[in-house]
Amino acid sequence: MGPLPRTLELFYDVLSPYSWLGFEVLCRYQNIWNIKLQLRPSLIAGIMKDSGNKPPALLPRKAQYLSQDIKLLRQHFQIPIQFPKDFFSVILEKGSLSAMRFLTALSLEHPEMLEKVSRELWMRVWSRDEDITEPQSILAAAEKAGMTIEQAQGILEKISTPKVRNQLKETTEAACRYGAFGLPITVAHVDGQTHMLFGSDRMELLAYLLGEKWMGPVPPAMNARL
Amino acid sequence: MGPLPRTLELFYDVLSPYSWLGFEVLCRYQNIWNIKLQLRPSLIAGIMKDSGNKPPALLPRKAQYLSQDIKLLRQHFQIPIQFPKDFFSVILEKGSLSAMRFLTALSLEHPEMLEKVSRELWMRVWSRAAEKAGMTIEQAQGILEKISTPKVRNQLKETTEAACRYGAFGLPITVAHVDGQTHMLFGSDRMELLAYLLGEKWMGPVPPAMNARL
């Protein structure tokens, strides 16, 4: 048996577009690099509050830039990401609390579904401009990801329990202790050291730290480990 | 003769560490890709003021992150970049007005020296090692006399305003003119995306020199 896989913790929120980009790149590489990807649903609103930071989109020129940047990265990363029409309402008013609690409950009960359901929630809010705050919206994403109605409703019933609320709080606090002031953050445990990398644009640096090969944001699938 | 080189404008300030990283990567690729690199000395303080943005280091957690990030990028990019001992004094109090006026004057009088002298200034602020850039004393004196002329002050102001019109809220920005389109890319971490837009090959921040165009 070869060397042990290196653990990567990805702290993310489906409200965050760059979280989606980072998520997909790491999902693509999890079967290429010798890594173990652990998904950590977190609340970006909590991280902003704790760090004293503000969403970049509140600065007009940054909002303008984000919009262009996402358009270009859509092509480069081959992810169907698109700004919702009423971006400010989605980000600042509607938020993602229920969705991230749902994913937290999933991480406790059905962690094997976490990747697919996270993706479906991003597809709703950051591709098809659909709601992710209503219970039926979250259930629709879960079903699209392959959960049965019963499974999905079972998870939904748990989202307001103290256990799930506390877990989301703890995961968010863990991100803060790693130094997060936004999301996504990738925490890489390599050779007894811990590196926190912010953003979806530190993946080539991550490859360097892991001693792995960087093949761009869309690596050829044929390199997958057996 | 092949297709015309694509113009890349790099707006930078020697006060900005990420500007150094972006600068070195583009300097390395200017003899590999079919590009023409135009250096545009600018004032990051002016861009912050005009955009309403603030230096990221003012947020404690960002300052902490910057410090780690620069340490790692130093190795990855192979650039001897290091946080100055008194970081806040350097960035926030001393500033870079004279240095950027100096580079602006150079861009008008001796543009061929702009790359080397910019590098030397970064080496002074952002590295321990300082070398000489090969400028003669007379040239240096001549330039120093010119830095507070209206012509130089206005040029720096105009270049900084040009960056703002391209949408800058910080530095570095790389403005790529490709196939009749203009793309503004912020940061030293959009170079792989730039390669994609140019239809060129990305070989990491330290491309093999043997790929240089003859």
Contact residues on chain B for A59, CB-CB shorter than 8 A: 51-53, 169
Residue with tokens 């404008």: B9
Give which of A33, A7, A37 is closest to A223, Cα–Cα.
A33
The alpha carbon of B8 is separated from its chain's Cα centroid by a whole number of angstroms, namely 12
Asked, as a colleague might, if the bond just before A111 is cis with ω within 30 of 0, I would say no
Q: In this complex, is the C-beta atom of B52 within 8 Å of any C-beta atom belonging to chain A?
A: yes
pLDDT of B64-93, one tens digit each? 999 999 999 999 999 999 988 777 776 667
Tokens of A209: 């730290």
Share of chain B above pLDDT 70, in %: 86
C-alpha distances out from residue B69 to A195, B13, B77, B173, Å? 9, 19, 12, 19
Name the residue facing B59 among A52, A64, A198 (closest C-beta).
A52
**Predicted local confidence at residue B9, as pLDDT:** 98
Give me A196's structure tokens.
């926190």
Sequence length of chain A is 226
Q: Annotate B21-54 with b (16+ C-beta within 10 A) or e (fewer).
A: bbbbbbebbbebbebebebbbbbbbbbbebbebe
Q: Give the pLDDT of residue B130.
A: 44
Q: Do B72 and A205 touch (CB under 8 A)?
A: yes
Task: Tell me, yes or no, if A62 comes closer than 8 A to chain B by beta carbon.
Answer: yes
Contact: A51, B73; criterion CB under 8 Å: no
In A191-220, the residues whose Cβ lies within 8 Å of chain B are 195-196, 198-199, 201-202, 204-205, 208-209, 214, 216
A64 touching chain B per CB within 8 A: yes
DSSP B44-59: HHHHHHHHT---GGGS
Q: Pick the residue from chain B with its C-alpha nearest to A207.
A: B76
| Residues of A whose CB is below 8 A from B76 | 204-205, 208
Residue B131 binned pLDDT confidence (cut-offs 50, 70, 90): very low
CA angle A101, A20, A27 (to 5 degrees): 100
The tokens 């760059």 sit on which residue? A18
Beta bridge partners of A185: A11, A198
Residues of B in contact with A208 (CB under 8 A): 75-76
Contact across the interface for B61 and A53, Cβ inside 8 Å: yes
How far apart are the C-alpha atoms of A187 and A38, rounded to whole Å?
10
Q: Which residue positions in chain A have pLDDT lower than 50?
A: none
pLDDT digits (tens, 9 = 90+) for B25-43: 999 999 999 999 999 999 9
- pLDDT tens per residue across span A125-143: 999 999 999 999 999 999 9
Q: What pLDDT is stored for residue B111 in this prediction?
A: 96
Which residues of A fall within a CB distance of 8 Å from B184?
Answer: 65, 68
Contacts 24+ apart (CB under 8 A), B107-112: B107/B39, B107/B40, B107/B41, B107/B155, B108/B151, B108/B152, B108/B155, B109/B142, B109/B143, B109/B146, B110/B139, B110/B143, B111/B39
In the beta sheet, which residues pair with residue A193? A190
Distances (CA, A) of B141 to B106, B110, B135, B153: 12, 13, 10, 17
- Residue in chain B closest to A47 (alpha carbons) equals B61
For chain B, helix (H) and strand (E) counts, in that order, are: 9, 4
Helix, strand, or coil (residue B194): helix
How many A/B residue pairs have CB atoms within 8 Å? 73
What's the pLDDT score for residue B203?
A: 98
State the pLDDT confidence band at B142, using cuts at 50, 70 and 90. Answer: low
Q: CB of B111 within 8 Å of any CB in chain A?
A: no
Kindly provide the b/e burial profile for residues B93-124, where b requires at least 16 CB atoms within 10 angstroms of the residue's own CB. eeebbebbbbbbbbbeeeeebbbebbbbbbbe
Indicate the pairing of strand B6-12 with strand B35-41: parallel
Between B53, B197, B204, which is nearest A204 by CB?
B204
Q: Distance from first CA to last CA of chain A, Å, rounded?
A: 13
Cβ-contact A221, A42 below 8 angstroms: no
CA distance B10 to B123: 18
Neighbouring C-beta atoms of residue A223, cutoff 10 Å: 13
Categorize the per-residue pLDDT at B158 as very low, low, confident or very high, splitting at 50, 70 and 90: very high
With an 8 Å Cβ cutoff, are A216 and B192 in contact? yes
**Cβ count near A71 (within 10 Å):** 12
pLDDT in the model for residue B117: 95
Interface of A with B in 166-195 (CB under 8 A): 179-181, 195
Residues of B in contact with A209 (CB under 8 A): 72
Report the DSSP beta bridge partners of residue A194.
Answer: A189
Separation of CA A194 from chain center: 20
A179 to B61: CB separation less than 8 angstroms, yes or no = yes
Q: Determine the residue among B73, B175, B179, B192 to mutate to test chain A binding: the one whose Cβ has the most chain A Cβ atoms within 10 Å.
A: B192
In three-state secondary structure terms, B86 is coil
Task: Please report the ipTM that was assigned to this predicted complex.
Answer: 0.95
Looking at CA atoms only, how far is residue B14 from chain A in angstroms?
22
Mean pLDDT of chain B: 90
Residue A44's CB: how many other CB atoms inside 10 A? 26
CB B12 within 8 A of CB B23: yes
In three-state secondary structure terms, A146 is coil
- d(C-alpha B39, C-alpha B186), whole Å: 15
Q: Does B161 touch chain A (CB under 8 A)?
A: no
Is there a contact between B167 and A202 if contact means CB atoms under 8 Å apart?
A: no
Residue B167's pLDDT band (cuts 50, 70, 90): very high
